[in-house]
Structure 1
Amino acid sequence: MTILDRIIAQKEIEVKDLKAIYAFKQQKPVKRRSLYDSIQKSDTMSVIAEVKRASPSKGEINQKVDPVAQAKQYEKAGATAISVLTDRQFFNGSMADLSSVASAIPELPLLCKDFMIDRIQIDTAVDHGASIILLIAAALKEEQLRDLYGYAKSLGLDVLFEVHNEKEAETALRIGADIIGINNRDLKTFNVDLATTERVAALIKDENIAIVSESGIRTREDVAFAEGVGAKAVLVGETLMRSANIEATMNDIRIPLHKAVR
């Protein structure tokens, strides 16, 4: 059983519990800036800056982080959007983290970073302030992805549709995803290869699709490579979480867009 298999099995348990106990506010999503529009209109590399305490691949990253203080530093340093890990068992995150960041950062696009397998998780993310949800192609069948994508869009949410190979990219294109995240980390082996962005982005010809390179982004050179093969945004977690100077790190990776089709 892969790590992804274990995570999805845990999500099935969590969804069952949610359906038994969760009382919805049934509120409409908070109106925030559009992630899609922000990426498409930017002249520099957009950065989705992530609040992440730990991960299965890296172990503890920053367990003592104050999510609000971290997110405020990201906002001040020019992040395009904030991503908050909400998975508890594997990433030590929580919906409370998302909610507190949502209250403190009212305008930036806000991603609930979790493994979505059911509509109830999307409702929960909305109730806690998210304006973006993540869908992972490797986690679900195409009909499930199509259902969750359509539901999220019906609520006015942006969807970061994550793929890590050509077959998954074709699924994203069939469903009509307008923000495609290319994860350089194989979720089954957790190996990281930036060439994944180059290989998969070559299939995405439509300039109206925003490409986000995810995982393994550490240096300005990494960002320049991603930009050169078509990415307009990067999702950066560990590098920013470990940074001693977030503003300097952010300035280093928010490079001008030259080669990316806009």
Structure 2
Amino acid sequence: MTVLDGIMARKADEVAARRAARPDRELEAACRERPPARDLAAALSAPGGPVRVIAEVKRASPSAGAIAAGLDAVEQARRYAAAGAAAISVLTDGPGFGGSLDDLAAVRAAVPIPLLRKDFVLDRYQLLEARLAGGDAVLLIVAALPDEALRRLLEDAAALGLAALVEVHEERELERALAAGARLVGVNNRDLRTFAVDLAQSERLLPRLPPGVKGVAESGVRTAADARRLRAAGAVNLLVGEALVRAADPGALLRELAS
């Protein structure tokens, strides 16, 4: 069993427990009271446009361990928004990343820009949770989902007004994402099986996106030089987490990355 397999098994158990405590119909009723979701796709650049940064709020990761255990999600999100972030990614996985849906709801109350729920999504129930907490988009990881589940979650997300950032790491995953109808594709430069990071993944895969599909380079962007390297390969949207969380001045680094 890979690390990702283990995480997905844990996630299935977590979702089952939460569903038993609060069934889908309750979340569906509450979601109908939510205002319309913000448009993540519109906040991102098309090829040739200016660099846009999805800035991430997280306290830890399976690869790096503790990054900023006491991080105040709201204050960090406010720094990102003030520095011009296009959107904010909020980790809501507890055991691996130190996050929660409470973080997502608190950030929603604090900033006006689109929010991505970043988690290991395998069930429509998690889409309802994201919508209810104020999320505007969800992450769907191709490596973690069979084709039918990926298509179904894309359809369910659209029906709820949520965007879906579909994450790939290799050519076959990209093919699967496009076949399922993905319109936002994130190329994760980190291999979720080995945790090795290689910016060349974005350099290889982003140019293969068809017209009308926006791409995001994820993981491994730490410096302005990294951002320039990816921009040269056509990456105009970057998802950056650990470097911003570790930065003494995250706003200044965010502006450097987008310049």
Bin for the TM-score computed over the shorter chain: over 0.9
Residue identity over aligned pairs, in percent, reads: 45
1:240 maps to: 244
Call closer, same or farther: CA 1:230–1:192 in 2, change over 3 Å. same
- Equivalent of 1:27 in 23, 26, 32: 32
Tell me the equivalent position of 1:164: 169
Question: Does residue 84 in structure 1 map to residue 100 in structure 2?
Answer: no
Question: Alpha carbon RMSD of aligned pairs, Å?
Answer: 1.4
Matches within 5 A, 1:14-163: 14-22=14-22, 23-24=26-27, 25-27=30-32, 29-40=34-45, 43-105=49-111, 107-163=112-168
- Kindly provide the CA deviation profile for residues 152-201 of structure 1, in whole angstroms up to 9, marking residues without a partner as x: 01111111000000001001111121110000000011110000111122
Question: Structure 2: where are the runs of 5+ without partners?
Answer: none
Moved more, 138-147 or 242-251: 242-251
Shift in CA distance, 112/30, structure 1 to aligned 2, threshold 3 Å: farther
CA-to-aligned-CA distance 1:79-135 (integer Å, 9 cap, x gap): 000110000111111111111001111x20101110000000100111111000000
| 1:32 CA drift (Å) | 4.6
Residue of structure 2 in register with 1:208 after alignment: 212
8 Å CA contact 1:217, 1:236 repeated in 2: yes
The letter for the 2-side match of 1:34 is D
Q: Where do 4+ consecutive residues of structure 1 move more than 4 Å?
A: none
Q: Is 1:68–1:101's contact at 8 Å kept on the other side of the alignment? A: yes
Amino acid in the other structure paired with 2:116 = L
Consecutive unaligned residues of structure 1, counting only runs of 5 or more, are 256-262
Q: How far is the alpha carbon of 1:28 from its aligned partner?
A: 5.4
Which of 213, 221, 224 is matched with 1:220 structurally?
Answer: 224
Give the corresponding residue for 1:259: none
Instruction: Verify the 8 A CA contact 1:119 1:148 in the aligned structure 2.
Output: yes
Q: Is the 8 A contact 1:28 1:155 kept in 2?
A: no
2:54–2:87 Cα contact (<8 Å) kept: yes
Structure 1 residue 29, shift from structure 2 partner: 5.0
Aligned-partner SS, 2:190: coil
Instruction: Please say if residues 134 and 160 of structure 1, whose CA atoms lie closer than 8 Å, have aligned partners that are also in contact.
Output: yes
Q: Following TM superposition, by how much is the alpha carbon of 1:40 offset from its aligned partner in structure 2, in angstroms?
A: 3.1
The 3 A distance-change label for structure 1 pair 246 and 147 is same
In proportion to residue count, which structure has more helix? 2
Residue 231 of structure 1: how far off its partner (Å): 1.6
The offset of 1:7, in angstroms, is 0.6
